[in-house]
């Protein structure tokens, strides 16, 4: 399958590397290919300097957001929350139409320092803003409750099996993403929370996740739903 991954940070790198390893044809999207390939420092959340990562993953194509969007049959949005709608505008509504868009972004606002606040919450969410801005994209919010490594390898927690969520208006898109989570990444517990408004919960959970990360000193905190 051809997959477009928007984002050159640690999430984009991790998703692209794993999906390529599985044998799919991946293109990572960025605002400016030349600038990304010249980057010698990792992004704010870690990962590798993009130039170094790209050199080690020469089987992954790198293009503009529009080129990655045109390339992908399935798309992942792993861009900075404040840059997500601008990035998707650059990708082009025509390139997103009819495609499953797995939205991994969180609406973090770092302007007030650490920990970040959310620039949208409670009565709206970034996932909803994206779905409203691109009504023909089949947006499924998922994976944004765990760190990048757990997204593609959920089995590495010391605490055992845990849960990931899908939110979206298009049931067949959620079914497709659930299959991807299970078959590509190894998630055993996927809960369908409902329509795209249900993405508010996972996005607001990040406020707790940030405190767990700061308090426990680990980014591996995750959710296990028991009833
Ligand atoms: N880090 C994690 O473990 C984790 C876990 C869960 C969810 N998330 C969420 O996943 C997303 C990606 O996180 P990350 O740490 O990998 O990367 P990031 O640093 O948050 O985002 C990097 C990407 O955002 C793009 N970008 C930044 N500002 C932009 C703007 N104004 N317009 C268009 N594009 C812009 C960058 O484009 P260029 O390539 O052109 O620089 C780059 O591709 C975020 O929304 C984050 O909250 C992260």
Separation in Å, CA 179 to CA 12, 34, 111, 116, 189:
20, 35, 37, 32, 11
Question: 80, 85, 202: which to mutate for ligand 1, most atoms within 8 A of CB?
Answer: 80
Check residue 157 and give its pLDDT: 87
Residue 136: CA count within 13 A, CB half-sphere: 7
SS3 22: coil
Task: Give distance in angstroms: CA of 200 to centre of ligand 1.
Answer: 19
59 C-alpha to center of ligand 1: Å? 22
Distance 8 CA to ligand 1 centre (A): 7
Q: Whose CA is nearest to atom 15 of ligand 1?
A: 45
Tell me which residues have their CB closer than 6 angstroms to ligand 1: 7-12, 30-32, 36, 43-45, 78-81, 83, 86-87, 104-106, 108, 144, 147-148
- Measured in angstroms, how far is the CA atom of residue 202 from the centroid of ligand 1? 17
Please state whether beta strands 25-30 and 190-194 pair in parallel, antiparallel, or not at all (unpaired). unpaired
The pLDDT, as a whole number, for residue 160 is 85
Ligand 1 atom 20: the closest Cα is on which residue?
80
Can you read off the two tokens belonging to residue 4? 């477009």
Q: Please report the pLDDT score of residue 158 as a whole number.
A: 79
Cα 182 to middle of ligand 1, angstroms: 24
Q: Whose CA is nearest to atom 47 of ligand 1?
A: 106
Residue 95 CA to residue 43 CA, distance in Å, equals 27
Confidence at residue 200, expressed as pLDDT on a 0 to 100 scale: 98
pTM (predicted TM-score): 0.98
Question: Mean pLDDT of successive 10-residue segments in the chain (227 residues)?
Answer: 98 98 98 97 94 98 99 98 98 98 98 96 99 99 98 91 98 98 98 98 97 94 96
CA angle 211, 143, 132 (to 5 degrees): 105
**Count helices and strands in the chain by DSSP H and E runs:** 10, 10
Task: Please tell me what DSSP assigns to residue 155.
Answer: G
Per-residue DSSP letter, 92: -
Instruction: State the distance from the centre of ligand 1 to the C-alpha of 154, rounded, in angstroms.
Output: 21
């Amino acid at each position: 399958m051809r997959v477009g991954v928007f984002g050159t940070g640690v999430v984009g790198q991790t998703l692209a590397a794993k999906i390529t390893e599985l044998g799919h044809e991946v293109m990572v999207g960025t605002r400016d290919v030349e600038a990304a390939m010249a980057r010698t420092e990792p992004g704010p959340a870690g990962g590798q300097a993009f130039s170094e990562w790209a050199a080690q993953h020469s089987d992954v194509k790198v293009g503009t957001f529009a080129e990655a969007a045109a390339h992908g049959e399935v798309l992942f949005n792993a861009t900075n929350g404040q840059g997500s709608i601008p990035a998707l505008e650059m990708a082009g509504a025509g390139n997103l139409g009819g495609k499953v868009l797995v939205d991994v972004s969180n609406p973090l606002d770092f302007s007030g320092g650490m920990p970040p606040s959310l620039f949208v919450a409670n009565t709206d969410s970034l996932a909803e803003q994206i779905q409203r801005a691109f009504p023909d994209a089949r947006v499924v919010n998922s994976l944004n409750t765990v760190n990048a490594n757990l997204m593609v390898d959920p089995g590495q927690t010391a605490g055992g099996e845990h849960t990931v969520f899908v939110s979206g208006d298009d049931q067949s898109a959620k079914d497709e993403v659930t299959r991807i989570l299970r078959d590509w990444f190894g998630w055993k517990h996927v809960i369908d929370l409902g329509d795209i408004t249900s993405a508010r919960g996972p996005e607001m959970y990040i406020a707790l996740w940030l405190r767990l990360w700061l308090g426990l000193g680990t980014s591996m905190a995750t959710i296990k739903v028991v009833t």
